[in-house]
Amino acid sequence: MHGSIASVEALLSGLAAADSALYSQADTVLCPPHLHIPRVGELAAETGLQLGGQNCSEHTEGAYTGEVSAAMLADCDCQWVILGHSERRQYFGESNELVAAKASAARAAGLKPMLCVGETLEQRSAGNAQEVVTSQLAALVAGGLEATDVIAYEPIWAIGTGQTASPEQAQEMHAAIRTWLREQIGETAEAIRLLYGGSVKADNAAELFAAEDIDGGLVGGASLKADDFIAIVEATRE
């Protein structure tokens, strides 16, 4: 929940100054607050940047004041939507089952969901990190994971704290996710991309992306600074 029209325009101006081929070498998606999506879409139209929402309702339409449906996002040229972010789970009580229902609604509207999973510091310290993550994944599998879905592993203890899971810790969890998905859904698991999200920054992106099972990043605070975000995208080339 950051930004104003002026700051959005300044950020997009900075992002548009990058090499014109940069954003087409990998899927590069901006997920602004809902009110700013149309303006971001206008400014990003010629850059190769794609659009996504930060959340959507599990309902298609109706008397749900304040909600935004997946179809509304698609109507604003969004291709993606982030679902189950740890902040949605923590502050708004979103359950694993609700996230799965939202994912189904997103797919029905033609959106590709970025589905977030991750553990707290207490859960990791207790040795339950993989159990927590696989329980979150199990609800998504029950809801019908598809090859175009993306899983974003975000250790909650590393979000906005300046702490980052080491490349070894991140790869260990990503490998566990990939192995578990193979056991559950077979070959489809190979197509599902796994992103790391947890204080991804310009100075650690290349090392994280070099890990075998890390296919990209879900970028938080660093996405608010054009130079930092450009450097992270550049790291995908390396």
Q: Which of 58, 87, 119, 154 is catalytic?
A: 154
Name the packing angle between helices 129-142 and 167-185 (round to 10°). 40
Active site annotation includes 85: yes
Q: Active-site residue 154, yes or no? A: yes
Name residue 114's beta-bridge partners: 82, 150
**Residue tagged active-site, from 85, 87, 119, 174:** 85
Angle (CA) 116-170-177 rounded to 5° is 55
State the catalytic residues.
85, 154
